[in-house]
Chain A
Amino acid sequence: MKKTPFLGLGLLAVVLAVLPFVLPNSFYLDLAVRMAINAIIVIGLNLLIGFAGQISLGHAGFLGIGAYASAVLPTHVGWHPLLALLAGAAASALLAALLARPIFKLKGHYLAMATLGLGIIINIALRNEAQWTGGPDGMVVPAMELFGYEIGSDRQWYWVVAVLLVIAVWASLNLIDSPFGRALRALHGSEVASQVVGVDVARYKGAIFVMSAFSASVMGSISAHYIGFISPAYADFFHSIELVTMVVIGGMASVYGSVVGAVLLTALPQALATFEGWETVAFGAILMLCMIFLPRGLVPTLAARFGKGE
């Protein structure tokens, strides 16, 4: 926990800076953008799941709120895309804050069920409000615009998400190694011990839930603008599970693990496309093998094997 965590950050920044110049074609650039977007979402989710020890199986719901705010508000109300992004993020944060108290009275399986329900409710709402959202057919998302410039090309989006990813990694590393972050990890380690040293457990669980919801919503908006089209499937249960899988495969309570998990699970379906019809089976088999041989996730297991602390 001394200087080493930031070595990885420097490495990440260099890789991100060089990547667009060595990628052979736009297919890979597109993949890189989607990896980075997922990585940022998973970093936020890992703060909640890995560090604070609170599961959320409905996180795609917050992605959906962000994505649809960015689609609906500029299209139907004429808002500026940036304002729409912020409004979606504020709505997600507010929803998370309102639900935090009742939801985090629950633990373990019950908490999983409650967050699962939350995600499903948001998804149903998006499907049913067809006059606004286009229902199951989805809708086109207008382009993002910053200071009069339209962000349209993959390469522009690449730089936006690359910078955001570096910031997300840096801020998360800082956060977990601070009084706030220690309190979060302590309530994961022993809730009663953290209470008697003065940690207001409900408040801390709520705070990190709100932060991860805010981050997910912003990335949902960015993802919607980038792809240019959004459908309710983006906010469904399977997407939530995919995000949790990225957390677990990469490594719980590991910031770099989140990045690795997101990169691998975004790339894997592409890499397995050659299996034609068997790719889901291969995907499942790889996940099972990972969990059997690397139960703590890739990064923590490998770090322990090479004798490093973090």
Chain B
Amino acid sequence: MSLLQVRNLSIHFGGVKAVQNVSFDIDAGIVYSVIGPNGAGKTTLFNLITGVYKPTSGEIRLDGEAIHGRAPSELARRGVARTFQNLQICMNMSAIENVMVGAHLRLDRNPFKAALRLPSLRRRDRELRAEAAQLMEFVGLGQYVEARADAMSYGALKRLEIARALAMKPRPIFLDEPAAGLNPKETIEVDTLVRKIADSGVTVVLVEHDMKMVMNLSDRILVLDYGKKLAEGSGAEVRANPDVIAAYLGTHA
């Protein structure tokens, strides 16, 4: 059975049908990309699956369990992690603390034990700090382990978000345009990073505009246009699909 099953998913904002009747399956362990022109509903689809929006109709199943309409914190409990297209970094915290927050659900969150500075909690926090430093190393932010979040560059913050998501030990990780706004060198680094994440066994769901990166990384691709599913298949299949070509380049020929 697929890790994630989406059936007839729709959401309407007033009269705007941002996502209409979209169905697809994502198998465990693959890189699955969602592409489409601006406004096609890619980020909306991410927001639906990660619980930020509640669907108007349709269903989403993770490992067979219905998860649509659940709060993001409940989805996090089930191992759904994501990053954001427009950065969502906590600038009031240090870089490594941002990563440590990703492990929130794996920790003892009792405020009374914390206020009393119980040794068990402190020990776990020290372990977590080391783990977070390793994750920062993994995403290529080794030199920022002691840094404040508000002192980091845009490109570094994008990877910090990925490290935070990885700290959740996610099953599917949803990356919303991880290369947007990055220069070509940084884009290649993110490309390599996504490959590394997929190789570590995490299912990656990717929204990205950089076609070279998408074609290079993806096992399967879903194409959205005006909120509808236009095509789905391997990179080669999608590239050859006349509807996709029409949507991207306009109809003619």
Contact = CB atoms under 8 A, between A and B. Distances in A.
Contacts of B110: 180
B236 interface: no
Given A197-B102, A201-B73, A180 B90 contact: no
Contacts, number: 115
A186 B101 contact: yes
Contact of B114 (A175, A185, A193, A195): A175
A172 B168 CA distance: 26
A183 B101 contact: yes
Interface stretch (B5-13, B76-84, B191-199): B76-84
Contacts of B73: 195-196, 198-201
Contact of B164 (A181, A197, A201): A197
Contacts of B121: 178-179
Contacts of A197: 76, 81, 101-102, 104-105, 164-165, 167-168
A160 interface: no
A192 B88 contact: yes
Interface in A151-196: 170-172, 174-175, 177-183, 185-186, 188-190, 192-196
Grouping DSSP codes into helix (H, G, I), strand (E, B) and loop, the A interface class, with mixed when no group exceeds half, is helix
Nearest to A190: B88
A71 interface: no
B78 to A, nearest CB: 10
A181 B90 contact: no
A175 B82 CA distance: 27
Interface residues of A, number: 32
B93 interface: yes
Nearest to A187: B90
B43 interface: no
A252 to B, nearest CB: 9
A36 to B, nearest CB: 19
A181 B168 CA distance: 18
B104 A183 contact: yes
A179 B114 contact: yes
A207 B115 CA distance: 14
A178 B124 CA distance: 10
A1 interface: yes
Contacts of B81: 196-197
Contacts of B186: none
Nearest to A50: B92
13 contacts: A174-B115, A174-B117, A183-B109, A189-B90, A192-B52, A193-B101, A193-B164, A195-B72, A196-B73, A197-B104, A198-B73, A198-B104, A198-B105
Interface of A: 1, 170-172, 174-175, 177-183, 185-186, 188-190, 192-201, 207, 211, 253, 309
